[in-house]
Structure 1
Amino acid sequence: MGMVEAVCISEKKGMVKKEVPEIHLEENWGITGDAHAGIWHRQVSLLAGESIEQVKKKMPHLKHGVFAENIVSRGVELTALAIGDRLIIDGTVVLEVTQIGKECHNAGCAIKKATGDCIMPREGIFTKVIHGGVVKAGLAIAIERISEATRVA
């Protein structure tokens, strides 16, 4: 079982997200006060703390939120998830994986330009909120995988 390492929001799209003490997730909406909230498939983004550490080896000054991630996880193999899998946070908040990775902005983001690589297109995942609640650092994250039969159908 993994855990939430940090939570981040930004009020405007295109801005670096800032770490905050807690976030409130609304069912089928996303995070209250976050620019990416809305009725669509990329309501909440997640990135593994382990992935961020690899980039920090080249750029140790990086803070949570710089990759536009809403939730930084620890001990969860996000890259092994499939669309439809669910993350259960603190036993109550339910996020469903809707997209894996994303295209990097235009000629690449500032991180890619500085380090030669950006991890969000490969290792970030996007989710929609199935059941909302409050999320903050230290809460447990469990994975609920969809069955292979459902995945093929």
Structure 2
Amino acid sequence: MTAKNGFIEAICISARKGVLKKAVEQALFEKNWGIRQDAHAGVWHRQVSLLAGESIDAVRKKIPGLRHGVFAENLVTRNVELAELTIGDRLCLGRDVVLEVTQIGKKCHNDGCVIKKKTGDCIMPREGLFCKVVKGGDVKVGNSCAPCGFNAEKCITNPKKGGEWE
């Protein structure tokens, strides 16, 4: 049995906090700042938020048609075991970007988000990951995504193999 390669399924941004994020094809991640043009960027510990696509799929069973960005997540990953990561672990995105996990989960706003009100549950408080940008660069939908420990030198892809991790 071969392992599936992790990748970025969606990138979402918003100009203001408190509104749904919209999906974009690519984004510029800035070191110690976050995603350019995203309202949550800044000098703090929650510059970028992530959710697993598999977790969103489970919610879609209760709310068909749910689109990316509804949880205010910046990145949706696929085939990445986000639940196995702990604070201090790093993720490499594409060729250049390195994120460091700074927080796991968060409290829903105003006694629960729209999702929690519709389904009785929200995945962000227990499954959402928050990161700071350790190394910046461009990220596109479809780019590789994988844990890379605490060593940014492991963040190397081989374009001849379609961006798979070496």
TM band (smaller chain):
over 0.9
% of aligned pairs identical?
64
Question: Any gaps of 5 or more consecutive residues in structure 2?
Answer: 151-166
1:13 paired residue among 5, 14, 17: 17
Using the alignment, how far apart are the partners of 2:145 and 2:83 within structure 1? 15
Displacement of 1:91 in angstroms is: 3.1
Kindly provide the amino acid, as one letter, of the partner of residue 16 in structure 2: K
Alignment of 1:85-100 (within 5 A): 85-100=89-104
1:113 paired residue among 108, 112, 117: 117
Please give the secondary structure, in 1, of the residue aligned with 2:122.
Answer: coil
2:40 paired residue among 36, 42, 51: 36
Q: Residue deviations 1:69-101, cap 9 Å, x none?
A: 000000011111000000001131000000000
Question: Partner residue of 1:73?
Answer: 77
Question: Any gaps of 5 or more consecutive residues in structure 1?
Answer: 147-153
1:53 aligns with 2:53: no
Displacement of 1:21 in angstroms is: 1.2
Using the alignment, how far apart are the partners of 1:136 and 1:71 within structure 2? 11
Report the TM-score when normalising by structure 2.
0.86
Kindly provide the amino acid, as one letter, of the partner of residue 76 in structure 1: V
Kindly report structure 1 stretches of 4+ aligned residues shifted beyond 4 Å.
none
Give me the CA root mean square deviation: 1.2
- Asked if the contact 2:96–2:138 (Cα under 8 Å) also holds between the matched residues in 1, the reply is no
Using the alignment, how far apart are the partners of 1:141 and 1:18 within structure 2? 20
Displacement of 1:106 in angstroms is: 2.2
Kindly provide the amino acid, as one letter, of the partner of residue 26 in structure 2: E
Question: Partner residue of 1:127?
Answer: 131
Report the TM-score when normalising by structure 1.
0.93
